[in-house]
A and B are shown apart, each in its own frame.
Chain A
Amino acid sequence: QKEVEQNSGPLSVPEGAIASLNCTYSDRGSQSFFWYRQYSGKSPELIMSIYSNGDKEDGRFTAQLNKASQYVSLLIRDSQPSDSATYLCAVTKGAQKLVFGQGTRLTINP
């Protein structure tokens, strides 16, 4: 079992719709959870962090965490073509290092 699992996609969503990205993790001791966006050939960009159960909203982005189910998700409302990228779920292992999922490739269709 991979430590952090994501559906690799590609996930195709029409412009203006809600994109839903999911991630599961195996280490129950994980405390911090992150979503990064990575455009092709570029570096990961931190877009959301979440530390406690529930929802966290920032603009068009909402992160959801359910520690009992070991599940993290990212919702992108009013999807734009510029949201087309690979989205990486990351979870802390131990105190500091991040373990990344393989990423979900998202395409927003105009």
Chain B
Amino acid sequence: NAGVMQNPRHLVRRRGQEARLRCSPVKGHSHVYWYRQLPEEGLKFMVYLQKENIIDESGMPKERFSAEFPKEGPSILRIQQVVRGDSAAYFCASSPIAIYNEQFFGPGTRLTVL
């Protein structure tokens, strides 16, 4: 019974490169959430997606960040032209239904920008 899967677990990018983070939710879960945890800071909501739809992206920076959850395949969080301030742990969570909203987290992707 696989949980939320994320890859890569660690990602190193140079300033200006693109970072692509992948998330496969728990089988049967159709709600995906991305959170970011900066060093010594709390978890911050970024975006909530259902299949082929962005439901709430109120936590996403306006530029350089985008997310998708296609009909087939994993959810992708894309960061273009990364800067050092993007270095953080990015966590994906999934839930089976919106009601009660128990969210289960994946292992995270640790992004380091050199």
Query: Which residues of chain A have a CB within 8 Å of any CB of chain B?
Result: 32, 34, 36, 42-46, 49, 51, 88, 90, 92-103
Contacts and interface: CB of A to CB of B under 8 A. Distances in A.
Question: 4 closest A-B pairs (Cβ-Cβ)?
Answer: A100-B43, A97-B45, A43-B105, A102-B42
Contacts of A92: 101
Of B102, B103, B104, most A-chain CB atoms within 10 Å:
B103
B42 A98 contact: no
Interface of B: 31, 33, 35, 41-45, 48, 55-56, 58-59, 91, 95, 98, 100-108
Contacts of B56: 94, 96-97
A100 B42 CA distance: 7
A34 B42 contact: no
Contacts, number: 59
7 contacts: A34-B103, A42-B107, A43-B108, A90-B43, A96-B33, A96-B48, A97-B58
Nearest to B91: A43
A86 to B, nearest CB: 10
B80 to A, nearest CB: 23
A96 B55 contact: yes
Contact of A45 (B41, B44, B59, B105): B105
Given A43-B91, A88-B43, A96 B98 contact: yes
B31 A96 contact: yes
A102 B58 CA distance: 20
Given A44-B91, A49-B100, A51-B100, A98 B45 contact: yes
A97 B48 contact: yes
Contacts of B108: 43
Given A32-B101, A88-B43, A98-B101, 17 more contacts: A34-B103, A43-B91, A43-B105, A43-B108, A46-B103, A92-B101, A95-B101, A96-B31, A96-B55, A96-B95, A96-B98, A97-B48, A98-B33, A98-B43, A100-B35, A100-B43, A103-B42
Contacts of A44: 43, 91, 105
